[in-house]
């Protein structure tokens, strides 16, 4: 089990470190982190590079989340690990793929905020939870036109929904699910600390709004 955990953590972190937005921008001999908000994520790519580039980033960031979960299941199978230990490996994978995205080894530990990747891993683990979190976040974005606010709300409700859905589960299963969910929620909110300050001060940009002077 120890070997399986190590392999899962390393593979997930390295997968997460493959930051689609940075790679895509470097193909154009640039670095997305030097433009717009400076964030290596889909929203900044949309504003700086357009819809097609942003769509590629969303696909790339989501794909690595699904691959990380698949690799964790493969490692469990090869190492003779069975449920509920397999679940532990999957949640280790989703945790470290987001950490890799936020702090990529290949790009000086300066990555994105992990929202697209986080949404993808929620769907990879439980599509019901994914629909609830994504639906609430999108509703908030449509209502306020703040992408950051929708993302922050999603980060907050993800662990809450997760706790509500697994309250009656056995302790080993419950802890394997809830602890990573709480960690990822806190990490996501923390990564949006600059956006929170802008929201409070009224300087955060809405969808389609030009940069404020």
Residue extents of the structural domains in the chain: 2-201
Rounded Cα gap, residues 187 and 158, in angstroms: 12
Asked whether the beta carbons of 97 and 124 are under 8 A apart, the reply is no
pTM: 0.81
Lookup: tokens for 152: 């922050």
Rounded Cα gap, residues 121 and 94, in angstroms: 6
- The pLDDT tens digits along the chain (213 residues) read 778 888 989 999 999 999 888 888 888 767 888 887 777 878 788 888 888 888 888 898 889 888 998 998 888 888 877 666 777 788 888 889 999 998 989 888 888 887 888 888 888 878 888 899 999 999 999 999 898 899 899 999 998 888 888 777 666 566 767 888 888 899 989 988 888 998 999 888 887 665 554
Listed in sequence order, the DSSP H helices in 2-126 are 2-16, 20-27, 42-49, 51-78, 85-102, 115-125
């Amino acid at each position: 089990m120890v070997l399986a955990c190590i392999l899962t953590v390393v593979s997930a972190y390295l997968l997460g470190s493959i930051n689609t937005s940075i790679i895509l921008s470097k193909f154009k001999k640039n670095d997305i982190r030097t433009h717009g908000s400076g964030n290596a994520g889909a929203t900044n790519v949309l504003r700086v590079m357009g819809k097609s580039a942003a769509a590629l980033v969303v696909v790339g960031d989501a794909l690595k989340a699904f691959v990380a979960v698949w690799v964790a299941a493969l490692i469990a199978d090869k190492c003779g690990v069975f449920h509920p230990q397999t679940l532990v490996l999957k949640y280790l994978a989703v945790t470290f793929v987001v950490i890799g995205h936020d702090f990529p080894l290949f790009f000086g530990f300066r990555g994105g905020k992990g929202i697209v990747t986080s949404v993808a891993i929620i769907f990879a683990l439980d599509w019901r939870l994914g629909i609830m979190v994504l639906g609430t976040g999108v509703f908030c974005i449509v209502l306020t036109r703040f992408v950051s606010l929708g993302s922050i709300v999603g980060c907050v409700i993800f662990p809450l929904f997760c706790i509500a859905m697994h309250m009656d589960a056995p302790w080993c299963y419950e802890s394997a699910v809830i602890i990573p969910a709480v960690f990822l929620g806190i990490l996501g909110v923390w990564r949006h600390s600059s956006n929170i300050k802008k929201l409070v001060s009224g300087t955060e940009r809405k969808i389609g709004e030009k940069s404020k002077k």
